[in-house]
Amino acid sequence: MNIEEKIAGEIVLSTNPNQTLKKWREEFNITKSELAKEMGVSLSMISDYEKGRRQSPGIGTIKKFVDAMMVIENRHGGTILRRYKSGVPYDAVIDIKDYDRDVNLKTIISKIEGKQVSNANADRYVRGFTIVNGVKAILTFSYSEYSILYGWSNERVIFFTEVKMGRSPMIAIRVHPLKPAAVVYVNADRVDDLAIKISDVENIPLITTEMDVAEISRKISFIK
């Protein structure tokens, strides 16, 4: 089942479809005015549906609602859609994407204003990236879910946010058989010496950046 079918099905089967419409609109960070414009309806109509002042929407309206949401989400960059399609636990993954070609790692480092803190060789190419909440990933991912982080290829950059002591993400990388092409700590409180040592032993470049996560997604999602 794809995300479009999931949304439509949940609305149809919901005991309160009006609230379900609102839930999904807010889940995708879409304003009522954006949705109304894309659907070709009035803003008051969207408000009336969400507040239960109109009869529950029919199949035709639900289809227009879902289609409009997908158009708007892709216009916004598709980050939330990629998270749902990734198969990674939704509250841990922030963004994930596979490139349709090889991308030089140094290009990504430059775009995120990154700084390499280890001596591992950064002269390599990647085929995608994954951004995860470091704390939630380490606390909640099962062994198999770590594999999902790699998308279609482990030749990718894995970004960790919420890095505190600076060693746990690299320890997790160390013990798992799949290895990424590079690891980036986003606004880390510190980078532990052990993390740097693991980076060198595994020959996985460890990079830091102080760039905002949303900006990182924007800059590396569509590399020319």
Q: Which tens digits make up the pLDDT trace of 88-136?
A: 545 677 888 889 899 999 999 999 999 999 999 999 999 999 898 877 6
The helix/strand/coil state of 69 is helix
What CATH number has the domain bearing residue 60? 1.10.260.40
159 pairs with which residues across the strands?
A: 131, 184
pLDDT for residue 121: 95
Please state which of the ranges 43-52, 129-138, 147-156, 203-212 shows the lowest mean pLDDT: 147-156
119 and 174 together in one domain: yes
Q: Which domain holds residue 62?
A: 3-76
Q: With bands split at pLDDT 50, 70 and 90, how would you rate the model's confidence at 140?
A: low
- Tally of CB atoms within 10 A around 31: 13
Strand positions, DSSP E, the chain: 93-104, 115-116, 125-133, 157-161, 182-186, 206-209
pLDDT for residue 174: 87
3-27 in b/e form (b: 16+ CB < 10 A) is beeebbeebeeeeebbebbbebbee
Above pLDDT 90, what percent of the chain? Answer: 48
* pLDDT, the chain, mean: 87
Answer with the one of 23, 43, 76 that is the final residue of a domain.
76
Cα–Cα distance for residue pair 46/124, rounded to 1 Å: 49
pLDDT for residue 211: 96
DSSP code of 15? S
98-127 in b/e form (b: 16+ CB < 10 A) is bbeeebebeebbebbebebbbebebebebb
189 and 106 together in one domain: yes
Residue 152 scores a pLDDT above 60:
yes
135 and 87 together in one domain: yes
What token pair was written down for 176?
A: 């798992």
Q: Are 92 and 116 in contact (CB under 8 A)?
A: no
Task: Name the residue with higher pLDDT: 149 or 57.
Answer: 57
54 and 99 together in one domain: no
What CATH number has the domain bearing residue 198? 3.40.1390.20
Task: Name the residue with higher pLDDT: 212 or 224.
Answer: 212
Count of domains for the chain: 2
Q: How many residues are given for the chain?
A: 224
Backbone angles phi, psi at 97, to 5 degrees: -155, 145
31 and 138 together in one domain: no
166 and 149 together in one domain: yes
72 and 91 together in one domain: no
111 and 156 together in one domain: yes
pLDDT for residue 177: 81
88 and 199 together in one domain: yes
Residue 143 scores a pLDDT above 60:
no
106 and 172 together in one domain: yes
38 and 100 together in one domain: no
What is the pTM for the complete model shown?
A: 0.64
The pLDDT tens digits of the residues spanning 15-54 come to 888 889 998 998 888 999 999 999 999 999 999 998 888 8
pLDDT for residue 117: 96
Helix pair 17-27, 59-75: axis angle to 10 deg? 10
Q: Which of 72-76, 77-81, 82-86, 193-197 has the highest mean pLDDT?
A: 193-197
pLDDT for residue 169: 87
pLDDT for residue 224: 74
48 and 115 together in one domain: no
The pLDDT tens digits of the residues spanning 186-201 come to 999 999 999 999 999 9
DSSP string, 127-179: EEEEEEEHHHHHHH--HHHHHHTTTT-S-SEEEEES-SSS-HHHHHHHHSS--
